[in-house]
Structure 1
Amino acid sequence: MTTTVDARPAEARRRALLRTARDVAEDLAADAIARDQAGKPPVDETARLREAGLPAALTPPGPDRGTDWRTGCAVIRETAAADSSVGELLARHYAHTWSGRFYAGQDRAAALEEESTDGQWLWTGSIRPHRPWADVPGGPDAPGATAPATLRPRGSGYVLDGRRFLDTAVATADQIVLDAVCTTTREVLVVRVPATAPGVTAEPAHDRLGQRVAGAGRLVLDRVAVTAGQVLGVRPADEESTAPFTALAEPALRLALCQVALGTAEGALAEARDLSRGTRAGRDQDLFLTYGELATAAQTAAVVVDRATEVMARALGAGPALGADEPAAVAALVATAETVTAEAALRVAARVLEIADAPGLDRFWRNARVLTAHRPAAHRLRSIGEHYLNGS
């Protein structure tokens, strides 16, 4: 006798979550321009997300909780179309909630995810990729810089010191995921720090070009006590020594941010379309051509992003059984999605300023610029080319 699992409850939860995301997006769109102009930390936005239950829902899937990767990305994209800043806040939250699985192992991750769901925790963080922070223009204090924090052993735990720039929720998050260098072993450890821990100070950034409501800013860590239980695991020293499933951590975050860039392009195009409809310009053949070109660019990017999302979802579902060669293929697809989406987002956001004259449309271009500025296309294309030629 074959036992089948009733998928209806999970499907019902998925549909309910997507409805909630649409409701939240409509609410955010109503005052998106005013909030962008104010540029305040996302205190009100975080409250709206918690009221809707999104921080609890956007955690890795488990028994009667969490969200699968495909649905999580759909929620992020829907939100980003209405408010790119809040979309990025959710994207980084969702990606960082997977940190337990990437670094700590299934048992510890399950307990952490359950606690996060029960507490409606909002996550943020910054884990350095395998490159030195000194390569970042502007040095360690620049946005995007990742100067190493340090962990000094004390008793059964550590003392954490350092500074780190966070792109989202620096003053509104509940949990912060960071990497730091142990002063005795020189290992790079990934740790989880409660935002309210003594010694943690947030310095929100002001007057950003774009993503003004994402809550970016600098985190100052001054003799913060870290217990052994807050250490999720070791970040390997290089890509060659990284376990296949752990290697998904960085591309998963980048793919979540692709959803934000794509949502930004779709939101800009939809808002411009609504402004053009019903006007004399709405019968202009040249305008039809322009909208056709922009819609094609956005839809092409969506196809590439959806393919990468599907492949990432399968890789995440494999867990520790993921094959050794699979992360490179996933990363190459993510890099392709980033390249196509960045180009589409910038193109759409710039052109809508020419075809629809209305206050607030400039926010899409500013947001797209900030979202795509940290990873030059040439770096991605070289990585894609190297994988295509050598499989590396």
Structure 2
Amino acid sequence: MSFDSDTSNPYLRSAAELRVLFARDAVERDKAGGRPLEQLGLLKQSGLLNLVIPKAHGGEGQPWSTALRIVREFAKVDGSLGHLFGYHAAAQQSAYIAASGAQAAALHEASARGNWFWANNGNFRTRSLSGRRDGTHWILNGHKPFTSGSHIADRISITWLDEATGDTIAGSIPSDREGWTSLNDWDAIGQCQTGSGTCTYENVRVEASEVYDRGDEAPDAAFRTLTPFLQQGVLLNVFIGSAQGALLAARDYTVEKSRPWVHSGVERHIDDPWVKRVYGDLYTRTVAATLLADRALEVLDGAWARGTALTARERGEAAIPLAAANALAGNVALEVTSKIFEVTGARSTDNALGLDRFWRNVRTHTLHNPEEYKTRNVGHWFLTGEPPVPSILQ
């Protein structure tokens, strides 16, 4: 496995071409933060924003495995763009999970026509946004944190609490809706262009047609609990892409620029047995994590393809390979993105190279997705046969 792109797939070939363009200023953009508007324009031109919309509704009808391999491809050079693309697809497909079939079809058709970029304001863990009914529509007030993509979005996927009942309501609105504001205040050490900060709501009106409604279907029906699978799939492939990209960048630096350690007894750094062993170990671990991630993508494709026929048992069986892959990938990515500095040398810490961005991006993501709980879920299943109970995180 060389971590080369699959150019036999036209969508992955397009993503690889974009990756080359994104790499040109990835270090500078990481330092600047803010809005990657030029890169968004390139994404829109590529047609990839409609990748997972069904063909019947104007999209490309591609499986999640293709979309998440694109996340991986972008993350080889820019974790923020991988994150943004993945969360766009997940927010876009929230309509398919939470809305009626007619609502989802109409939204997807409009999204494909308008080439919309979607953002997520649907963090279920926060209770900071509430709404009240006003006739046939809703009025929302409050805020949402961790709103990835909101700073460049056309459409916003949202959830809020019903002031009267405490129930969680879902829907989507255009980003130019009066009273809605993206503060673009994300200031973390990593994922610096994701816009994952705060959005505020001041008397934001949500029309009845914008509220998702699946009628009498049980809110805990198995298919309706797949949102965490999509989010985990994005994080998983940011980890894998970051590990691969960091390892490739470090290898190139080692081959072209690293100087042998004074006590190594070799003339070329790559001839140092220590350097060979470290690269061999990091490569092996990255390959193992990649293969497990690929298996998780197959499982996700299968669960998604079942649609509303998905059973609770099938959902539970799918959760285990996703959790296992996520736990391993996060740990491997942390190790790779940190340990490369041991074999690239002191000069590789130059800010102009930006090799630290890989670690900062992975470290930021793993804190939102603790490996400990994924591993416990896998262990509990292995010992008892009981899969994780569906929740906002698993």
Instruction: Work out whether the TM-score is over 0.5.
Output: yes
Task: Give the match's secondary structure for 1:82.
Answer: coil
> Does 2:6 match 1:18?
no
- Distance in 2 (alpha carbons) for counterparts of 1:332 and 1:251: 11
Q: Which whole-Å deviations, capped at 9, do the CAs of 1:223-276 have from their partners, x for residues lacking one?
A: 11101111113799xxx9611101111122111221111101111001111112
Deviations 1:56-89 (A, max 9, x none): 33x3333362322121111111111121110000
CA–CA distance in structure 1, aligned partners of residues 189 and 39 of structure 2: 19
1:88 to 77, 83, 86: 83
Do 2:185 and 2:195's aligned partners in 1 also have CA atoms closer than 8 Å? Answer: yes
Find out whether 1:272 has 2:250 as its counterpart. Answer: yes
The equivalent of 1:138 in structure 2 is none
Q: Which residue of 1 aligns with 2:302?
A: 314
On the 8 A contact 2:87/2:149 being kept in 1, the answer is no
Shift of 1:14: 8.3
| Alignment root-mean-square deviation, CA | 2.1
Cα distance in 1 for residues equivalent to 2:372 and 2:187? 28
Q: Report the 3-state secondary structure (helix = DSSP H, G, I; strand = E; otherwise coil) of the residue aligned with 2:221.
A: coil
CA distance in 2, matches of 1:52, 1:73: 16
CA deviation profile, 1:125-162 (whole Å, cap 9, x unmatched):
14345xxx4xxxxxxxxxxxx23411210111111111
- Residues 38-57 of structure 1, C-alpha deviations (whole Å, 9 max, x = no match): 12222222222222222233
Residue 244, structure 1, aligned to residue 222, structure 2: yes
**Residue 197 (structure 1) aligned to one of 158, 167, 177:** 177
Distance 1:349 1:234, change over 3 A: farther
1:225 counterpart = 2:205:
yes
TM-score, length-scaled by structure 1? 0.87
SS at match of 2:152: coil
Matched position secondary structure for 2:188: coil
TM-score (norm: length of structure 2) = 0.86
Consecutive unaligned residues in structure 1, runs of 5 or more: 1-12, 134-145
2-side partners of 1:207 and 1:242: how far apart?
35
| Native 8 Å contact 1:178 1:192 kept in 2 | yes
- What CA distance in whole angstroms lies between the structure 1 residues aligned with 2:368 and 2:67? 24
| Native 8 Å contact 1:103 1:235 kept in 2 | no
Is the contact between residue 148 and residue 196 of structure 2 (CA under 8 Å) also seen in structure 1?
yes
Q: What residue in structure 2 maps to residue 118 of structure 1?
A: 113
Question: Which string of whole-angstrom CA distances, capped at 9 and with x for unpartnered residues, describes residues 71-129 of structure 1?
Answer: 11111111111211100000101111111111113332122112111111111114345
Choose from 200, 209, 231 the match for 1:253.
231
Cα contact 1:149–1:163 (8 A) shared by 2? yes
> Share of identical aligned residues, percent?
30
* 2:239 aligned with 1:286: no
What amino acid maps onto 2:11 in structure 1?
Answer: L
Helix, strand or coil at the partner of 2:200: strand
Give the partner amino acid of 1:380.
K
Give deviations 1:186-211, integer Å, cap 9, x for gaps: 32111102111000011112542011
For the pair 1:296 / 2:284, whether they are aligned, the reply is yes
SS at match of 1:186: coil
Q: State whether residues 189 and 235 of structure 1, in contact with CA within 8 Å, keep that contact through their aligned partners in structure 2.
A: no
Structure 2 unmatched ranges of 5 or more: 1-6, 258-267, 388-394
Which residue type is aligned with residue 17 of structure 1?
Y
Aligned-partner SS, 1:189: strand
CA–CA separation in structure 1 for the residues paired with 2:78 and 2:226: 27
Tell me which residue corresponds to 2:40. 46
Match of 1:349 in 2: 337
- 1:128, 1:326 → 2: CA distance? 25
Conserved in 2, the CA contact under 8 Å of 1:188 and 1:235?
no
Structure 1 230/316 Cα, relative in aligned 2: closer, same or farther at 3 Å?
A: same
Instruction: Determine the C-alpha separation between the residues in 2 that align with 1:189 and 1:167.
Output: 17
Which aligned runs of 4 or more in structure 1 are off by greater than 4 angstroms? none
Deviation at 1:354, TM superposition (A): 2.0
What secondary structure does 1:181 align onto?
strand
Distance in 2 between residues matched to 1:105 and 1:234, nearest whole Å: 5
